[in-house]
């Protein structure tokens, strides 16, 4: 428009102006047609007919922004009767872009709801759907897309002879976030036992929502929303510790009580039985939780420390008293399966993402950038958008 047609338009007018406007505008139209402008606009219309997907919405917004930026140029260059075909193709393209963008945007909350039937991640981490949709909403709320999306909503409402209501755009984002929350509640109930698994899952996701502070989406949702998720994160982390490792301490806590009792003699068979019970319970709990994940590094380190602080001191105190109650050659030594240090090391290795357990934990990020999940989630949402 700006570097080719504008000059051709001026040149046609200068050369053929004496022959009249109809002649020089027809000349310019022929030149523009031969450069492929009609085919290019037809290509744009074909794109609007492609399958619906989240990526397509962003691309439609880009197309509309370009067309809007060139609106005055189009009017100046192709505003005559000689350019009727180009005018028609341009109007069709604008109509299809507006309707296509509105349709995908309006259906997003419904498509998120449809994902409720899919299984949650078995490792208790943040589902890709959550990370993808939240980052996607952040993009829509950004300066690059928000003004264009609102402009499209205003135009679409006017076509329906309705006035655009302030907040229509943000209300739809609220609806998407609300559906994500309902999905999480449903998914947490679908996780396999033990219940601690569900608590860890909810803790991870509430922490993820807390991390939205300072983003466009976090600002839109508000400080009270962020604080609520912070409180829920703490609530579920406490429930997780109590439900899993709190119950684990029962055997050695009782055994420690027996060791400090004044009655004699000490029932060593009972002590060995309780230590054996602790070992079995600990190994079982560790095996179940080894594949659970806390994606956020800071939260992972904090939870590992809390687990170690809850288990190691009591276990260490018990083992110390246990070893002083037996002789060096007593066979009861074989019941001490874990040293305090090895137990701390095992607990400290929990919740690591798979790719980090196999490599250098300092070199791999734990975040879920949109580029890494785009193919999977775009494909998943593409199927539901297409089926709608």
Residues 257 and 151: their CA atoms lie apart, in Å, by 71
pLDDT at 137: 96
Dihedral sign from CA coordinates of 308, 309, 310, 316: positive
pLDDT at 35: 81
Cite the DSSP H helix spans in the chain.
Answer: 5-16, 21-34, 37-48, 54-69, 71-78, 84-114, 128-141, 146-159, 168-190, 195-210, 216-221, 223-241, 247-248, 250-260, 268-289, 297-324, 340-348, 354-357, 370-387
Instruction: Pick left, alpha or beta for residue 124 (phi over 0 → left; psi -120 to 50 → alpha; otherwise beta).
Output: left
Residues 118 and 187: their CA atoms lie apart, in Å, by 8
Radius of gyration of the chain (CA): 32
Q: What average pLDDT score do residues 115-129 get? A: 92
Q: Which residue, 357, 245, 257, is CA-closest to 309? A: 245
Maximum C-alpha span of the chain:
123
pLDDT in tens, 334-357: 788 889 999 999 999 999 986 544
> Is the confidence at residue 270, as pLDDT, over 50?
yes
Whole-number mean pLDDT of the chain? Answer: 84
112 vs 373 pLDDT, higher one: 112
pLDDT band, residue 258 (cuts 50/70/90):
low
pLDDT at 372: 39
Q: What average pLDDT score do residues 51-59 get? A: 92
Domains of the chain: 1-35 (no CATH), 51-182+369-388 (no CATH), 249-352 (1.20.1280.170)
pLDDT in tens, 130-175: 999 999 999 999 999 999 999 999 999 999 999 988 899 999 999 9
pLDDT at 261: 57
Q: Which two tokens stand for residue 373?
A: 């999940």
Most confident by average pLDDT, 148-152, 256-260, 280-284: 148-152
Q: What average pLDDT score do residues 64-79 get? A: 88
């Amino acid at each position: 428009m700006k570097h080719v047609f504008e000059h051709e338009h001026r040149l046609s007018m200068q050369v053929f102006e004496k022959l009249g406007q109809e002649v020089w505008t027809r000349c310019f139209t022929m030149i523009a047609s031969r450069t492929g402008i009609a085919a290019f606009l037809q290509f744009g219309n074909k794109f609007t007919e492609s399958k619906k997907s989240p990526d397509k919405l962003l691309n439609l917004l880009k197309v509309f922004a370009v067309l809007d930026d060139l609106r005055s140029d189009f009017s100046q260059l192709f505003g005559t009767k000689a350019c009727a075909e180009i005018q028609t193709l341009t109007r069709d393209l604008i109509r299809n872009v507006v309707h296509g963008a509105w349709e995908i945007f309006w259906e997003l909350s419904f498509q998120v709801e449809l994902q409720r039937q899919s299984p949650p991640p078995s490792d208790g981490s943040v589902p890709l759907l959550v990370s993808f949709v939240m980052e996607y909403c952040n993009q829509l709320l950004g300066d690059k897309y928000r003004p264009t999306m609102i402009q499209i909503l205003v135009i679409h409402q006017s076509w329906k002879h309705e006035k655009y209501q302030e907040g229509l755009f943000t209300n739809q984002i609220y609806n998407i976030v609300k559906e994500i929350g309902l999905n999480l509640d449903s998914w947490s109930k679908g996780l396999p036992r033990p219940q601690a698994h569900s608590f860890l899952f909810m803790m991870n996701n509430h922490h993820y929502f807390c991390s939205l502070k300072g983003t466009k989406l976090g600002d839109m949702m508000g400080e009270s929303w962020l604080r609520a998720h912070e409180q829920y994160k703490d609530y579920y982390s406490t429930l997780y510790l109590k439900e899993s490792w709190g119950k684990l301490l029962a055997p050695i806590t009782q055994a420690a009580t027996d060791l400090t009792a004044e009655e004699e003699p000490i029932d060593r068979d009972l002590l060995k039985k309780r230590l054996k019970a602790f070992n079995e319970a600990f190994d079982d709990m560790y095996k179940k939780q080894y594949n659970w994940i806390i994606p956020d590094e800071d939260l992972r380190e904090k939870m590992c420390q809390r687990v170690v602080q809850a288990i190691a001191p009591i276990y260490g105190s018990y083992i110390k008293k246990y070893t002083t109650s037996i002789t060096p050659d007593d066979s009861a030594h074989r019941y001490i399966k874990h040293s305090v240090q090895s137990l701390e090391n095992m607990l400290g290795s929990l919740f690591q993402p798979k790719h980090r357990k196999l490599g250098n934990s300092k070199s791999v990020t734990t975040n879920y950038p949109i580029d890494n999940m785009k193919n999977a989630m775009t494909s998943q949402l593409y199927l539901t958008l297409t089926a709608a």
